[in-house]
Amino acid sequence: MGNQVWLYDTTLRDGAQREGITLSLEDKLKIAHQLDRLGIPFIEGGWPGANPKDVQFFWKLQEEPLTQAEVVAFCSTCRPNTPADQDRMLKAILAAGTRWVTIFGKSWDLHVTQGLKTSLEENLRMIGETIEYLRSQRRQVIYDAEHWFDGYKANPDYALQTLKAAKNAGATWLVLCDTNGGTLPQQVSKIVQEVVDALRIDPNGEAYPKLGIHTHNDSGTAVANGLAGVTEGVRMVQGTINGYGERCGNANLCTLIPNLQLKMGYNCLTENQLTQLSQTSRLISEIVNLAPDDHAPFVGRSAFAHKGGIHVSAVQKNPLTYEHIKPEKIGNERRIVISDQSGLSNVLSKAKTFGIELNKEDNACREILERIKTLEHEGYQFEAAEASFELLMRQALGQRKTMFQLKGFQVHCDMLQGDGMPYSNALATIKVAVNGEDRLEVAEGNGPVAALDSALRKALVNFYPEIAEFHLTDYKVRILDGGAGTSSKTRVLVESSNGKERWTTVGVSPNILEASYEAVVEGIEYGLLLENLVEETATIKS
C-alpha cells in the first residue's frame, strides 16, 4: 500500500463544468471506457438525480460495464433537518447501483452558517448520518471535505471535527479539497501534516481511512498542491484529464500521473497503461471538442519538439541533453521542428521521420534548407505545417507526384438576409486536369473556402475515391504585414484528417483565396500521399 497512489478521475462531473464543454450521454460513455482502458481506478460518473443524463449514464454502464475501474456516484450530504434515510437525493444515489459513492460536506464554518443556514452541530450530524446510512446500504464511501483548506485556515478545530465525524461514520477515504484553488503548496504541506497527526493516519499502512486531495487551479498550483499532499501522506489524488474544470480548471492528471510515477516513484498505472496517456489526452480533447494544448507538459504535441539547430544536434547525440524523460514512456514522441532557425541536423532528422534517408553532404539537403529559409522569410511557417514540409522535401528529391493540375477557379460570394439576420453563401467553380482529362465542377458552401474545398473534392473524388474520407478540421488565417493594409500577405493554415490521422498544410499569398487554395490542395495531396504509403507498406509486408 505504501507506494501506491490511487487515481480518481472527475472529468465527467467536475471537468464537464468547464465553460464551453457540453457532454452528451455517448460522450460520457466513450470517456469512461477510455479512462477504464488507461487504468484509472476510480471514475466519477456524475450526480444521479441531478439531471436525466447522469441517471441514464449509470444505467448504461450496467449494460456496458467497465473492465477494472470503479464507477463512482457523487452527491451532497443529506439536507439540514432531514434524516438521511428520508432524503430523496440519497435514494437516487443508491438507485445508481454503484459500489462506491462520493459524498461532499461542508468543512468551512462560513459555508455552514451562511450557505446552508444551519448550525455547526447540525452539519456534523448531516455528515455522520449520511455516511452511516450509505454504509448500512453496503456502499463504500469517499468523503470530499469541500473547502477544506479555507475552512481549516479559518477554524481548524471545527474543520477537524467534520473530518472526525466522517471517519467515525465509516468513510474509507477523507479527501481534502482546495475548492477555491487559492492554497499554495507550502500551506498544503503544513496542513496535511497536521491532519495526519490529528487523525493518526498511517499513509503506508493497511488501515483506513486514508487521505485524498482534490485541488483546483485558480492560483496555477493545482498540480504542485497535489504533489505536495502526496509527499505528506495523501494516497488518493483527484483530478481531470487535461485539467478541465470550472473557472481555471482542476489538477491535470496528465501532468500529475507522470510526475508521481516517473519522478517520485509511486505506483499509479502499469508501464503499458502509462504509454496510453498522450493518446487519452488527445482523444478526450476531441470528444469534448476543444483543441489539444500542444504545449501541455508531457502529453502536448510540442512537449518534446526541438527547433533550434544546436538543440537538434545535441538531442540526436544524447536525448538527455534536452529531454527530462523518454517521451515514449507516456506515449508521446520526439519531434524535430522545421523553421528558419533550422540547421542541417533538423532537415536530416525530419527526413528520417518521413522514411527518407539524406546525407549531410547531399546537395539536396542544403537546397531544402535554403528553400525553407527563403519561404519562411516570405511568410510560410513549416513548424506548424509539417505536411507541407514533407511535400516540399519530396519535390526537391523528385519524389512528388503530380496528381492533378489546376486549370482555374472562380469564387462568388453573396451576403444574404434571412429572418432579419445576414448570412453568407459562396459558390465555387473549379477546373482541374487529372491524367489528361479535364473536370469542371461547381459547389456551394457557407464561405468561399468551404465552397472551394467542396468543388475540388467533387472534381477529384472519382479519380481518388479515398478523398471522400478526408475533411477539414481547422482553418486559421493570419495577416503577416498589417501595415500594408489591404495589400497585406495572408498565411492560411489548414488542418485535415482522414479519421485516423491529422496533418497541417500552409499557403501564403496577398490573396486570401489563393493562400487558402494552396493549403487546401496540399492537404488533399498529402492525404493521398499517406494512403499511397500505407498501400506500399502493406504490399511490401505481403
CA distance 383 to 312: 14
Q: Are 347 and 365 in contact (CB under 8 A)?
A: yes
* Residue 217 confidence (pLDDT): 98
- Say yes or no to pLDDT of 354 above 80: no
- 317 with 237, same domain: the answer is no
Q: Compute the average pLDDT of residues 274-285.
A: 91
Q: Compute the average pLDDT of residues 461-479.
A: 86
* Residue 530 confidence (pLDDT): 86
* Domain C-terminal end among 245, 269, 293: 269
Cell of 394: 519530396
Angle formed at CA 500 by CA 499 and CA 504, multiple of 5 degrees: 85
* Residue 170 confidence (pLDDT): 97
- 413 with 379, same domain: the answer is no
Q: At what angle do helices 25-38 and 52-63 cross, to 10 degrees?
A: 50
CA distance 485 to 489: 9
* CATH number, domain with residue 35: 3.20.20.70
- 241 with 129, same domain: the answer is yes
- 220 with 191, same domain: the answer is yes
Give the β-pairing of 490-497 and 471-479. Answer: antiparallel
* Residue 19 confidence (pLDDT): 94
Residue 185 lies in a domain: yes
* Residue 173 confidence (pLDDT): 98
- Say yes or no to pLDDT of 340 above 70: no
Residue 352 lies in a domain: yes
Q: Compute the average pLDDT of residues 104-110.
A: 96
- 264 with 156, same domain: the answer is yes
More confident residue, 65 or 294: 65
More confident residue, 448 or 264: 264
Work out how many domains the chain is built from and give that number: 3
- How do residues 145-158 score in pLDDT, each as one tens digit? 999 999 999 999 99
- 414 with 320, same domain: the answer is no
Give the C-alpha distances (Å, rounded to integers) separating 62 from 97, 520, 521. 8, 45, 47
- Beta strands per DSSP E along 223-369: 236-239, 305-306, 335-336
* Residue 423 confidence (pLDDT): 63
CA distance 399 to 529: 11
Domain residue limits at 21? 6-269
Question: For cell 452528451, what's the residue?
Answer: 24
- Say yes or no to pLDDT of 20 above 70: yes
Percentage above 90 pLDDT, the chain: 56
* Residue 2 confidence (pLDDT): 61
- 224 with 328, same domain: the answer is no
- What are the φ and ψ backbone dihedral angles of 302, each rounded to 5 degrees? -100, 5
- How do residues 480-492 score in pLDDT, each as one tens digit? 765 555 567 888 8
* Residue 418 confidence (pLDDT): 59
- 318 with 172, same domain: the answer is no
Sorting pLDDT into bands at 50, 70 and 90, what band is 474?
A: confident
Sorting pLDDT into bands at 50, 70 and 90, what band is 299?
A: very high
- How do residues 196-220 score in pLDDT, each as one tens digit? 999 999 998 889 999 999 999 999 9
- 45 with 133, same domain: the answer is yes
Question: For cell 501564403, what's the residue?
Answer: 508
CA distance 182 to 197: 24
